[in-house]
């Protein structure tokens, strides 16, 4: 039995909680990109603490941020908030400024997005599907369905987070924990130890394994010839076709997992940053094996209802420190010109402190996209908020502030992401999951 047989049978049997293995009827040409990596900052990040800075004296109570307005800096067209010096442990963090210096030429930012909710689950759904309408696929699942429907693992995720919704368009394979171990086992069924590539770890020798396959094939042929009903013969023939499908891509993916890149010193020293980097390593292994189009990963810690600065800044700096390392690793692997990274959160934080020095939920959001010039116009900032951190209307033609214009929503963001992906107005997927807005050139 070939590995793909087990993959199909495993998918039919619901192998591994949260993991669905797709049934494929023929071998797929390895996918060569562009690849999509979605990185969710779960819990609700605070754009005023990095990409949409305000400063002291602003906000309803004048306490939007604990840094001077005059300390706001800029790199290219991007403005950035300086980390405050008033919270414990504020030293030694990766500076967001460095992230901009390293990547602004391939980075596009949209500020002032009306997310329309301050509910975590709905925010996760809305920011990654573009709509609060139920049963819509995330952008990762949508792109995977458009370009990878014949791939073994078109869409991978680190868990069953709402940000990785599929609407049944494509299987979602969980590449962490037990789900990842199950993938190893179905990709390498002849090994007694899927973590060891040594031939001595096989259940059977190569010669005996070949003989078992031959006997199995002979038995299937005899069973098929004995059937008289055409529909049963056809079903058995299709199953036989599945058994003959090459599964080297799955094996390649599993074996690449054993040789991950090493994170840099900062990322290796920070748990959340190292976790994000490791998740990206699994996504890159799947990309390089040619079996995956899109991957969704996420890190938490951004729900800072208490002591906002002491919680939000370390998580933000670890998030961008890890992505800085992930981008460099992608370039080193030769994936840099075939990779699109989308960065977003559930929603944002209020522009004032609560009684616990924390910030509660707020529905004004920001989204970043990094990619090669073929996909993303770098050094690009679109959208504005006022001093109270509320979205400002824009002229849809010029995308400049206009009191008579329109306020950006997640629908506009995702229509623009679909345009990057080549899913244009009128396409079948775009029509089936319509967002009801015109495409704006937010990222290009």
Contact 113, 383 (CB under 8 A): yes
Helices assigned H by DSSP within 194-229: 206-226
**Phi-psi category of 290—alpha, beta or left, where left has phi over 0 and alpha has psi -120 to 50?**
left
**CB-based contact 187:253 (threshold 8 Å):** yes
Nearest CA to 20 among 232, 190, 202, 172? 172
The closest of 165, 113, 156, 173 to 134, measured between CA atoms, is: 165
Can you give the pLDDT at residue 200?
Answer: 58
Distance of CA 361 to the CA centre of its chain: 23
pLDDT at position 193 is: 73
Helix (H) or strand (E) holding 111: strand 107-114
Give dist(CA 292, CA 294) in Å, integer. Answer: 6
HSE (side-chain half, CA atoms, 13 Å) at 261: 24
Local structure of residue 385 (DSSP, 8 states): B
Q: Which two tokens stand for residue 331?
A: 């370039």
CB atoms closer than 10 angstroms to residue 61: 10
Rounded distance, CA 62 to CA 401, Å?
24
Contacts of 200 (CB under 8 A, 6+ apart): none
DSSP state string for 30-75:
PP---EEEEEEETT---GGGTTS---TT-STTS-S-SS-GGG-EEE
pLDDT by residue, tens only, the chain of 444 residues: 444 444 443 343 333 334 443 433 345 689 999 999 999 999 999 999 999 999 999 999 999 999 999 999 999 999 999 988 777 667 789 999 999 999 999 999 999 999 999 999 999 999 999 999 999 999 999 999 999 988 989 999 988 888 899 999 998 988 887 777 777 777 777 777 767 655 557 777 778 878 887 888 788 778 777 777 777 777 766 656 545 555 678 888 988 988 899 999 999 999 999 999 999 999 999 999 999 999 999 999 999 999 999 999 999 999 999 999 999 999 999 999 999 999 999 999 999 999 999 999 999 999 999 999 999 999 999 999 999 999 999 999 999 999 999 999 999 999 999 999 999 988 999 999 999 999 999 999
pLDDT of 243 reads: 53
- Which pLDDT does position 4 carry in this prediction? 42
Q: What is the dihedral of CA 315, 38, 347, 354, to 10 degrees?
A: -10
Q: What is the pLDDT of residue 94?
A: 95
Question: DSSP letters along 127-173, please?
Answer: HHHSSSSSS---HHHHHHHHH-TTSSSSEEESS--GGG--TTSS-EE
Query: Helix-strand-coil percent breakdown of the chain, rounded to 5?
Result: 40, 15, 45
Nearest CA to 348 among 48, 39, 38?
A: 48
What three-state secondary structure class fits 272? helix
CB 338 within 8 A of CB 371: no
Count Cβ atoms below 10 Å from residue 203 Cβ, excluding itself.
12
Phi, psi of 192 (to 5 degrees): -80, -20
**Contact predicate 374/363, CB 8 Å:** no
What are the phi and psi torsion angles at 159 (to 5°)? -165, -170
């Amino acid at each position: 039995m070939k590995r793909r047989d087990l993959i199909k049978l495993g998918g039919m049997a619901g192998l591994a909680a949260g993991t669905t293995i797709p049934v494929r009827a023929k071998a797929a040409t390895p996918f060569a990109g562009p690849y999509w990596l979605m990185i969710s900052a779960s819990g609700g990040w605070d754009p005023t603490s990095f990409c949409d800075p305000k400063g002291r004296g602003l906000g309803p109570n004048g306490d939007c941020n604990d840094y001077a307005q005059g300390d706001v800096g800029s790199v290219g067209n991007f403005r950035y908030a300086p980390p405050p010096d008033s919270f414990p442990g504020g030293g030694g963090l990766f500076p967001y400024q460095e992230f901009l210096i390293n990547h602004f030429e391939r980075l596009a930012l949209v500020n002032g997005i009306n997310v329309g909710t301050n509910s975590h689950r709905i925010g996760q759904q809305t920011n990654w599907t573009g709509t609060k309408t139920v049963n819509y696929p995330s952008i990762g699942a949508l792109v995977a369905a458009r370009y990878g429907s014949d791939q073994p693992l078109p869409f991978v995720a680190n868990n069953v987070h709402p940000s990785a919704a599929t609407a049944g368009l494509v299987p979602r394979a969980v590449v962490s924990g037990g789900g990842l171990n199950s993938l190893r086992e179905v990709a390498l069924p002849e090994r007694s130890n899927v973590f060891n590539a040594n031939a001595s770890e096989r259940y059977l020798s190569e010669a005996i394994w070949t003989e078992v396959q031959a006997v199995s094939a002979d038995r299937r042929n005899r069973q098929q010839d004995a059937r008289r009903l055409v529909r049963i013969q056809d079903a058995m023939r299709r199953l036989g076709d599945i058994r003959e499908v090459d599964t080297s891509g799955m094996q390649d993916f599993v074996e690449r997992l054993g040789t991950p890149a090493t994170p840099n010193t900062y990322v290796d020293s920070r748990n959340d940053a190292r976790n994000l980097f490791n998740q990206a390593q699994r996504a890159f292994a799947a990309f390089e094996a040619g079996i995956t189009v899109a991957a969704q990963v996420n890190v938490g810690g951004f729900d800072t209802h208490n002591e906002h600065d002491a919680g939000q800044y370390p998580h933000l700096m670890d998030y961008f420190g890890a992505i800085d390392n992930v981008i460099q690793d992608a370039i080193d692997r030769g994936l840099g010109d075939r990779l699109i990274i989308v960065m977003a959160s559930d929603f944002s934080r209020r522009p004032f402190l609560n009684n616990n020095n924390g910030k509660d939920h707020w529905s004004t959001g920001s989204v970043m996209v990094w990619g090669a010039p073929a996909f993303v116009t770098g050094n690009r900032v679109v959208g504005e908020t006022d001093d109270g951190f509320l979205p400002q209307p824009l002229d849809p033609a010029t995308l400049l502030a206009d009191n008579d214009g329109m306020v950006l929503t997640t629908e506009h963001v995702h229509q623009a992401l679909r345009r990057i992906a080549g899913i244009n107005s009128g396409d079948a997927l775009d029509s089936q999951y319509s967002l009801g807005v015109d495409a704006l050139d937010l990222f290009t």
